[in-house]
Amino acid sequence: MSPTLSSILLYTRKTDEMAAFYCNHFGYTRHDLPGDRIVELRPAAGGAVLLLHPASKGIRQGQAAVKLVFTIRDVPAFVAECAKRGLEFGALHKADGYVFANAKDPSGNSVSISGRLAIRDAPPDA
């Protein structure tokens, strides 16, 4: 039996802003349990759950060593839609047959949208 990556825990001092960011731009749904300080963000289309944990003063926000990568087939269209909702991505980058773009979430974490896995996992006639 092999374990499956099911969630990513993000430390933040901006829980409500972070929840709104991932819900508004990436289709997550916020779930709060009474008495629990961790907020669960569940993806509509499957994938890893994001857990928002209150960050203590000693935790540095926006670690550069981790980037959340979201797969989308049409990166330019997604970038345009996000811009309408106030999320600006950086330049579109082309690499080995796919496109990607980068942004930051409200806590400074690196976020990327990429066509890499959409292209790789597409059926041959897609």
Distance CA 24, CA 13 (A): 19
pLDDT digits (tens, 9 = 90+) for 96-119: 888 999 999 999 998 999 998 887
Neighbours of 97 (CB within 10 A): 9
Q: What is the mean pLDDT of the chain?
A: 87
pLDDT, position 101:
95
Confidence of residue 126 (pLDDT cuts 50, 70, 90): very low
Q: What are phi and psi of 24, to 5 degrees?
A: -70, -40
User: Model's pTM, two decimal places?
Assistant: 0.79
Which residues, including other chains, have CB under 8 Å from residue 25's CB and lie 6 or more apart? 82, 85, 87
Give, as one character, the DSSP assignment of residue 4.
Answer: -
Sequence spans of domains, the chain: 7-120
Q: Which numeric CATH code is attached to 7-120?
A: 3.10.180.10
Contact 53, 11 (CB under 8 A): yes
pLDDT tens digits for range 22-70: 999 999 999 998 989 999 999 998 889 999 988 888 777 776 667 889 9
